[in-house]
Structure 1
Amino acid sequence: MTAECHISSLVVHSRPERVASIIEGLGLIDGAEVHGGADTGKLIVTLETATESQVIERINAIQLLDGVLAATLVFHHFEPVQERE
């Protein structure tokens, strides 16, 4: 089986009063990174994972964070990982 690299981006709509705790919770999710949107409650998030199932698992984990209204997948790209010699 060939190793893969999955890059995904999401928009995470959140309750304004919960943004700080949601950002903190996102920081605990492996491969998740917040790139902005805290001022509007529409967080721009990227995920880096090794499999497609991990993308789904992490989106589900994000949707379960207290104060998240929706986590919408905007972009997904994957490609095989080139092994270094």
Structure 2
Amino acid sequence: MSAECHISSLVVHTRPERVPEIMIGIGAINGAEVHGGQDTGKLIVTLETDTESQVVERINAIQLLDGVLSATLVFHHFEPVPERE
């Protein structure tokens, strides 16, 4: 089985007053990064994972953060990672 690289982006709608705590929670999730939207409570988040199931696990973890209203997958791309010789 060859290794894969999965890149996903999400829009995470939050309660605006909870943004700082939510950003800390997202930052604690392996492969997750916030790229903007803090001022509106609509966070732009990317995920870098090794498998499709990890994408789903991380989206679920984000949705369970207190103050998150929804986490919507906007983009998902994956490709095989070439094996090193």
TM-score range relative to shorter protein: over 0.9
Matched, 1:56 2:56: yes
Structure 2 CA distance for aligned equivalents of residues 46 and 82 of structure 1:
22
Moved over 6 A (4+): none
RMSD, matched Cα: 0.5
Count of residue pairs the alignment pairs up: 85
| Structure 1 unaligned blocks of 5 or more | none
| Structure 2 unaligned blocks of 5 or more | none
TM-score (norm 1): 0.98
- Which residue does the alignment assign to 1:22? 22
Structure 1 CA distance for aligned equivalents of residues 50 and 4 of structure 2:
5
TM-score (norm 2): 0.98
Structure 2 CA distance for aligned equivalents of residues 47 and 83 of structure 1:
22
Structure 1 CA distance for aligned equivalents of residues 79 and 38 of structure 2:
30
Give % identity. Answer: 84
Note the C-alpha offset of 1:84: 2.5
